[in-house]
Every structure is written in C-alpha cells, then in structure tokens.
Amino acid sequence: MNTNKISNTEINYSWSFSDKTVKDTSYITHGYYTYPAKFIPQLAERLIKENSQEGDVVIDPFMGSGTTVVEAIVNNRIGIGTDINEIACLLSKVKTTPLNYFDLLQELKNFEQELPYRMNGRFAEFLKAAQRYIPENERIDYWFLPEQKEKLSVIFAKILEIENTDIQNFFLVTFAQILKTCSIWLQKSVKPTRDLHKKIYDPLTLFLQQAKKMIKKHYEFNQILNENIKNNIDFYRNVQCGDSRNLPCENEKAALIVTSPPYVTSYEYADLHQLPSLWFGYLDELAKFRKKFIGSAHKERENVDLKSVTAENIVSKLKNKKQTEVKNYFADMLETFQETKRVLKRGGRACIVIGNTEFQGVKILNAEVFQEQFENIGFKTHDIIKREIPSKMLPSTRDTATGRFGKTTDKNIKMAYPTEYILITEKL
C-alpha cells in the first residue's frame, strides 16, 4: 500500500474544468434544482467515458441530484442510483425521465390560466380546499410567512391534481426549487438560518418562471437522449430511495462506480432539503430524519474494524460528538465500499471524488482513508487525480475565525475545499 502517493499527487488542471460556465454545468436537466456540493456533469462524463464502455452498468451509491445517472444514460450506459434522501430520489427520477414536450407545455398553459383565477377572485375558497394537502408540521410555519404559505398551498394543490405521475413529479421539482426563495431562510446560506427582513417574492411568478426554464431544459435533454434509451428508460435507468450499503444490482454486474460521497465535517445534509421535505411529507421529526444520513452522530454502533490505520488515528484525536460522527462516517463508507465490491465485475472500477477536511485542528484525510479501506478489501489503486475546484464551483467558503460560510470575495475567508481527489480503484 502506498498512501503517500496521495499527498504527493500534483494537481492535474485538465480535471478542473475551470473554463466551464454555470450555463455549461447546468446543461439539459442538470440545472433543475439547486443542490449544494454536487459535482459537475463534465467530471462525471469524463470518468464514465474513460472507465467504461457503452452498454455498461454505471452506479452511484450517493446519487444526490442524479448527475452520474443522467450522464450515464446520455452516454449510452445503464445508470443506477440510490440515495437515502427522498428529495434526491424525486429529483433524480425527474431529471432522467423523458416526457412529451407538448404535454408539459399544455400543463404549463393550465397553470397560467387556472392559478391566477385561484389566487384572486376565489382565493379563500381554493385556499380552504388546499389546506388538506399541507402536512401539519409547525416547521412549515417556522419557515414561511402566512401569506407566502397560503399562495404556495394553492399552487401545491394544483400540482397534486395532475393525473400523470411523471408530469406531476416534474412540477413538484419546480415547486421545490422556489421554496427557499419564498421562505424566510437566509437566501445565500446552506445552514438553517432565518432572515426576518427578507424580501417577499411572489410564489406564482417564481413558479411559472421556473417551469418555463425546466421545460426548455427538458426539451434539450430529449433531443440528445438516444431513442432506444428514451423508449426503454425503465431498463436503462434505475433510481431508488435506499441505503448505499444495499445497491439494487446483481452480483458482479456493474462495470463502474462514480460517486461523490457526503463530507463528514460539512453541514448536515438532512438540513439542506428541509423545506421540500416538509411540504412533501417526508420530514416528521427533524432529529429522526437526521439519523438516516451517513456519518450521523445520532446513531450508535458497536466497535468496528475500520480497516484503515489512518482512520483509527484520526478518530483517536477527536473528542466528544465529533469523534462518534467521524468514526460512524468511516464505518458507513467502508460498508458501502464492500457493497460496491459485490456489484462490480472483476476489473471493474470505483471512482470516488472526495476532498480532505479539518475539524478540531485534526486533518480528516478522507482520500487516504478510502484508499486504505479499498486496498484492504480487495481492490488495487488504479489512479489518483488531484483537481483544483474553481471558486465558482465550490459549495461555499468558510470564515477561518467563525467557521461560517460566506462569499468568495470576503476577507479572512479560506476556501472550504480548494482541491479534491479522484480515487480510482480496481477490483482484483
């Protein structure tokens, strides 16, 4: 084993994609929903093309916004993805489901004609009817002013009237995308912070604007997707809500894993999708919701062999809740890697995009730990790529004094993850 290779790896600037604009990275369906810390489609595409063949099975155990699955099917592979987060599953399914362009336009026309009528002359009547669709959760009232909540309720109820499930899901994602702007959640914050002086936006205007953008993007997606895949999408695309340690794939069937796991010392992933989760009834109690996520400090586990000397050393230096969190994270990741071994063919590869972080003054060497874990369960290291993350693609930046996330232009700001690694291992 040669973990020193990671720290000695030079930056390969061809993997930075610094020439790509936001428009480039949000092409086709990739720009439907603001999903923090996602990796760009160009990165997934290159890994897929360089490490698999057309017709191969490509899996993402932490599919998040579905970037890998979209790029797999667009590049004539079979895409499989899982995520424990229901919002991720809904989004990924919508982004990979071909829909009739004219059906979407017709539904948009229905919204344009019907919603202004419901919002004005007979608002009280339609609001009363809409109430039954809204989950009873005090956190909805915590995040939404009464007027905003009422207007959103009427839009939400109209969406739920759509009979075609795939089209209904499409507009649910449209609805999910406008929720943060329509709430009092601090607009540029990934942490759950209220802004009681936030500007008030009109939900109907935002909803119709977002729907038009998404329909245009979906038309582009339909244009580039292979006709055979488009007509047999359920064979070429399998998106499921589930645990990364229980992948929906037969033994030794996959050729490639492409994934970007969550960061253990980053923000709580459960918090990021609170708003749509509340509206869609996925979130009952936040504490219970958080326990599902990888590396959660809210769950207990017996002592476990992390199969990494580096991991054990890191955990021993941490204290209190963070020690439990990091230990759980490395244990969860190990179990996920063992599951990737089950589904990968011999010679199949796992591409893990991850950065190293720091907490309590302790360096969290994720890439080094993952390399050790893979090599200790029957993989060899094929390649290690170090890439620079252009500031416009960073999930956020962190103030070195306060630990809060801020703008890239602020003074005393240190980039949260200025570089990251792509660990490519191969099953022996």
**Which of 19-23, 146-150, 172-176, 188-192 has the lowest average pLDDT?**
188-192
pLDDT above 80 for 363: yes
Q: Indicate the SS3 state at residue 1.
A: coil
Residue 11 DSSP label: B
Does some domain include residue 205?
A: yes
User: Domain range holding 195?
Assistant: 101-222
Same domain (yes/no): 238, 369:
yes
Boundary residue ending a domain (169, 195, 222)? 222
Does some domain include residue 280?
A: no
Same domain (yes/no): 18, 117:
no
Single out the residue of 98, 44, 83 nearest to residue 67, CA to CA. 44
Mean pLDDT in residue range 290-311 = 73
Boundary residue ending a domain (173, 193, 222)? 222
What average pLDDT does the chain have?
88
Q: Quick one: pLDDT band at residue 404, thresholds 50, 70, 90?
A: very low
Does some domain include residue 10?
A: yes
* Both tokens assigned to 374: 């893979």
The count of structural domains within the chain is 2
Q: Quick one: pLDDT band at residue 287, thresholds 50, 70, 90?
A: low
Same domain (yes/no): 22, 59:
yes
Give the predicted TM-score (pTM) of the model: 0.90
Q: Quick one: pLDDT band at residue 344, thresholds 50, 70, 90?
A: very high
What percentage of the chain reaches a pLDDT higher than 90?
Answer: 70
- Mind listing the pLDDT tens digit for each residue in 148-169? 999 999 999 999 999 999 999 9
Same domain (yes/no): 236, 303:
yes
pLDDT above 70 for 203: yes
Q: Indicate the SS3 state at residue 26.
A: coil
Distance of CA 114 to the CA centre of its chain: 33
The DSSP bridge partners found for residue 280 are: none
Which residues have a Cβ under 8 Å from the Cβ of 336 and sit 6 or more positions away? 61, 244, 245, 261, 294
Looking at residue 291, what is its pLDDT? Answer: 63
The CATH number of the domain holding residue 322 is 3.40.50.150
Same domain (yes/no): 252, 371:
yes
Label residue 76 left, alpha or beta by phi (over 0 means left) and psi (-120 to 50 means alpha). left
Looking at residue 412, what is its pLDDT? Answer: 42
- Mind listing the pLDDT tens digit for each residue in 212-226? 999 999 999 999 999
Same domain (yes/no): 234, 348:
yes
In angstroms, rounded to a whole number, what is the distance separating the alpha carbons of residues 324 and 299?
9
Same domain (yes/no): 197, 235:
no
Looking at residue 122, what is its pLDDT? Answer: 79
Same domain (yes/no): 160, 215:
yes
pLDDT above 60 for 405: no
The DSSP bridge partners found for residue 425 are: 350, 381
Same domain (yes/no): 152, 48:
no
Does some domain include residue 265?
A: no
Phi first, then psi, for residue 387 (nearest 5°) are: -120, 145
Same domain (yes/no): 303, 182:
no
Does some domain include residue 394?
A: yes
Q: Quick one: pLDDT band at residue 37, thresholds 50, 70, 90?
A: confident
Q: Which residue has the higher pLDDT, 26 or 129?
A: 26
Mean pLDDT in residue range 50-58 = 98
- Alpha carbons within 13 angstroms on the beta-carbon side of residue 249 total 33
Same domain (yes/no): 344, 232:
yes
Same domain (yes/no): 218, 156:
yes
Mean pLDDT in residue range 182-209 = 92
Q: How far is CA 202 from CA 85, 125, 151, 205, in A?
A: 28, 20, 8, 6
